[in-house]
Amino acid sequence: MKVAFLDRDGTINKDYPDAEWTAVRAPELLDGAAEAMRYLTSLGYRIIIITNQYIIGEGFISLAQYESFTRRLLTELEAEGVKVLDVFYCPHRRDSGCDCCKPRSGMIRAACEKYPQIHLAQSFYAGDSMADMQMAQACGLCFYGINLPCENPIGSLSELKQLLS
């Protein structure tokens, strides 16, 4: 199974400074994100979201707020014709030393354990941070960096449509 591993905030959904997440209740999809995700699905990719949510462990939002937001995001994406296979998140503080906080590879490894049919050589990762890029490199994934100086730079998720056609 080939997978498009996608970062959430700044890639699919608008990102905010940490303290502002306290007041965020509804997703705000970035322009072209749902269309790009539908296109990836049409190419045979399954969508898995990989997201650091240290704002839970650092007290900016509760686990219940995260879960509510995620349900709303998945519902909105589904209404746009996007089926997300799964979401993996790290709720720990950045200084916790956990294995799942990007740039560590724990969330990708967890996805591969849950879905052993994932073929990393046919999959890729798209995100907007150096931690995303470092994690993708550690896992041997092709990486598309949103507004990042990298081998495969893109301005937004929607640019994948041209690159992968």
- For the chain, domain boundaries: 3-163
- Told to judge if 86 belongs to the known catalytic residues of this protein, a careful annotator would answer no
- Residue 159: its pLDDT value, please? 95
pTM: 0.96
Cβ neighbours, 10 Å, residue 63: 12
Rounded to whole angstroms, the Cα distance separating 100 from 52 reads 8
Examine the pLDDT at 143 and tell me if it is beyond 90. yes
In this prediction, residues 114-138 reach a mean pLDDT of 98
128: annotated active-site residue: no
Helices (H), 11-122: 33-42, 54-57, 63-79, 106-114
pLDDT score at 165: 80
CATH number of 3-163: 3.40.50.1000
* 126 strand-pairing partners: 6, 144
CB 160 within 8 A of CB 154: yes
